[in-house]
Amino acid sequence: MKHSARLFPNRRQFLATAAAWALAPRVLLARSNPVAAKSAAEIANDPRRPQFHLLPAKNWMNDPNGPIFFNGKYHMFFQYNPHAAVWGDMSWYHSVSPDMLHWTHLPLALEPTAGGPDAFGCFSGSAIAVGKRVYFVYTGVVESTPDKATIRDGSDKLQESQCLAFSDDPNLIHWTKVAKPIVPLPPEGMAITGFRDPSAWRQDDAYYMTVGSGVARVGGCVLLYRSKDLNTWEYLHPLTSGIWNGKRTANPCEDGEMWECPEFFALDGMHVLIYSTLGKVFWQSGKLDVATMKFTPLKTGLLDLDAFYAPKTQLDAKGRRILWGWIPERRNDAAMLEAGWSGIMSLPRVMHVDPDGTLRLQMLPETVKLRAGTVPSEETRTGAVATLRKATGEVTCAGGGDKSFEVSFNANETEVMRVSYSPEKHSFLADGKEVALEPDDRPTLHAFVDGSVIELILGERIGYTKRFYYEGSTAPDVRVHATGMGEVTMNAWKIEPISNNRLT
């Protein structure tokens, strides 16, 4: 789950810089909201609020939970604070869509139950359909004592267990919780650094479930469980594990001692694992030995260069593997409370694996339905400029491969992002971060600008999601300047809002 995207009580001052935020602890205690609630009109009129990304009508959101295509509709659940625009009181928000692009909000699916195993919070998890019933496996959290704590952060007072809920409602609005945890304790004898974010799937005649964890001073790992009925689970072994970086921090997710939000699935003849640690999201592709249920990674990489964390995946109606991620804010608690909202769901990305195990990403092709006309580009001495009015629009750029080019995004005369392509290295440089392409890859860029976020994919290999902010009550125009065009082509489109008041 991503429960924690904020700071613990002994470190409540929000880390002001983006670099510091990337390493901010993800599990902290709930706290009261000292700012008066914003009205719906004030939130709707915030120019920084995206128009075509999914987010709740107000308050804090983080990790996607249990995305699933069921009964002809797409259901998205995510971590949500019903009471404030900062982390706390973790519940499961629920939205439904016909196409993964246009959303309708529904009542909360899960909320903490007093006296239950999730009394402190319903943390992250996943969904699995069994006939006409859908199950949630999720992490329940209670306040406990240091000897039972599974979150080792210095305060050592939170205990995690894996819980189960189910719905027989064709609209997935009504849910029933199983009273006791299905996995109440972590494996014996392990000095674990965390125990959360279950993800379940059916394989042959059994169910399997991964849980994010780690071993102190050893490294993060993914625990593997097996069940015949989703209620009684047998611990098998670590599916795979990593190596601690040796730099001790208060939060084990900052130094690689803990892996959050693992997701494991078959794709294009291989198996893929994604997990979050060190403030980043990693992928591994490789082979699963179904006899031993041991995973051997062959290739690894990053899913995104910046503001993208705790992702989940699902299969869509066409059988495609769809990736969703939480886009966090890069501003402090006071600014989020003042705004009345925090966090965004990424646009859906389609995942594939090449025969050599290299991951490939594309924006969902159906996003073309959001287009509301082309944006004309004006030729300059060095290239071309497209102006995205009020920080909203889509841009694609593609090169022939043998000439360099550069694309910059500018708002209010301030450069927000710069991406350049080097044919000599066959790589992109994105704000100083190098992205190497495969030999046969075309140098392409596909970007969406929405209020206060730029979300793009480079060379169909990696995402780059970046937040930007500005003062005032009007969103600035974003000028996209492509230089060194040569054989490079740039196209831009206006984007249609998915609601008439940004509160969908």
Task: Find the CATH number of the domain harbouring 178.
Answer: 2.115.10.20
Joined together, the tokens standing for residue 290 give 């179904």
Name the residue among 382, 379, 375, 359 with its Cα closest to residue 448. Answer: 375
Q: What is the pLDDT of residue 7?
A: 31
Judged by phi (left if over 0) then psi (alpha if -120 to 50, else beta), residue 202 lies in beta
Task: Examine residue 503 and state whether it is found in any structural domain, yes or no.
Answer: no
Name the residue among 356, 251, 362, 229 with its Cα closest to residue 5. Answer: 251
Q: Are 112 and 120 a contacting pair, CB within 8 Å?
A: yes
Q: What's 487's domain CATH number?
A: 2.60.120.560
Q: Report the alpha-carbon distance of residue 23 to residue 171 in Å, rounded.
A: 38
Q: What is the pLDDT of residue 248?
A: 87
Task: Examine residue 449 and state whether it is found in any structural domain, yes or no.
Answer: yes
At residue 463's C-alpha, the angle toward residues 462 and 469, to 5°, is 155
Q: What is the pLDDT of residue 381?
A: 79
State whether 151 and 242 are in the same domain: yes
Residue 84's contacts (CB-CB under 8 Å, 6 or more residues apart) are 32, 33, 59, 60, 337
Task: Examine residue 360 and state whether it is found in any structural domain, yes or no.
Answer: no
The maximal CA–CA distance of the chain, rounded, in angstroms, is 68
State whether 123 and 245 are in the same domain: yes
State whether 279 and 382 are in the same domain: no
State whether 379 and 311 are in the same domain: no
State whether 320 and 442 are in the same domain: no
Tokens 């470190």 locate to 11
State whether 331 and 407 are in the same domain: no
Name the residue among 130, 135, 139, 182 with its Cα closest to residue 160. Answer: 139
Per the DSSP assignment, residues forming a β-bridge with 467 are: 453
Task: Examine residue 268 and state whether it is found in any structural domain, yes or no.
Answer: yes
State whether 243 and 316 are in the same domain: yes
Per-residue pLDDT of the chain (504 residues; tens, 9 = 90+): 444 433 333 222 332 233 333 334 444 434 444 567 889 999 999 999 999 999 999 999 999 999 999 999 999 999 999 999 999 999 999 999 999 999 999 999 999 999 999 999 999 999 999 999 999 999 999 999 999 999 877 788 999 999 999 999 999 999 999 999 999 999 999 999 999 999 999 999 999 999 999 999 999 999 999 999 999 999 999 999 999 998 988 889 989 999 999 999 999 999 999 999 999 999 999 999 999 999 999 999 999 999 999 999 999 999 999 999 999 999 999 999 999 999 999 999 999 999 999 999 999 999 999 999 999 988 887 789 999 999 999 999 998 768 899 999 999 999 999 999 999 999 999 999 999 999 999 999 999 999 999 999 999 999 999 999 999 999 999 999 999 866 678 999 999 999 988 776
State whether 393 and 342 are in the same domain: no
Q: Report the alpha-carbon distance of residue 60 to residue 12 in Å, rounded.
A: 16
Catalytic residue (choose from 63, 153, 306, 333): 63
Q: Are 71 and 48 a contacting pair, CB within 8 Å?
A: no
β 462-467/392-398 pair status: unpaired
Task: Examine residue 182 and state whether it is found in any structural domain, yes or no.
Answer: yes
Task: Examine residue 45 and state whether it is found in any structural domain, yes or no.
Answer: no
Please give the residue range of the domain that contains residue 202: 9-31+54-346
Joined together, the tokens standing for residue 250 give 């208060």
Task: Examine residue 46 and state whether it is found in any structural domain, yes or no.
Answer: no
Name the residue among 444, 455, 389 with its Cα closest to residue 417. Answer: 455
DSSP string of 128-142, one letter each residue: EEETTEEEEEEEEEE
Q: Report the alpha-carbon distance of residue 213 to residue 219 in Å, rounded.
A: 9
**65 to each of 71, 198, 330, 339, how far by Cα in Å?**
18, 10, 22, 24
Residue 440's contacts (CB-CB under 8 Å, 6 or more residues apart) are none
Joined together, the tokens standing for residue 192 give 């674990």
Q: Are 405 and 495 a contacting pair, CB within 8 Å?
A: no
State whether 430 and 335 are in the same domain: no
State whether 334 and 439 are in the same domain: no
State whether 390 and 482 are in the same domain: yes
Joined together, the tokens standing for residue 453 give 């976020």
- Residue 229 known to be catalytic: no
Task: Examine residue 362 and state whether it is found in any structural domain, yes or no.
Answer: no
Q: What is the pLDDT of residue 34?
A: 54
Phi, psi of 85 (to 5 degrees): -95, 20
pLDDT in tens, 315-359: 999 999 999 999 999 999 999 999 999 999 999 999 999 999 999
Residue 114's contacts (CB-CB under 8 Å, 6 or more residues apart) are none
Tokens 């009109």 locate to 41
User: In total, how many domains does the chain have?
Assistant: 2
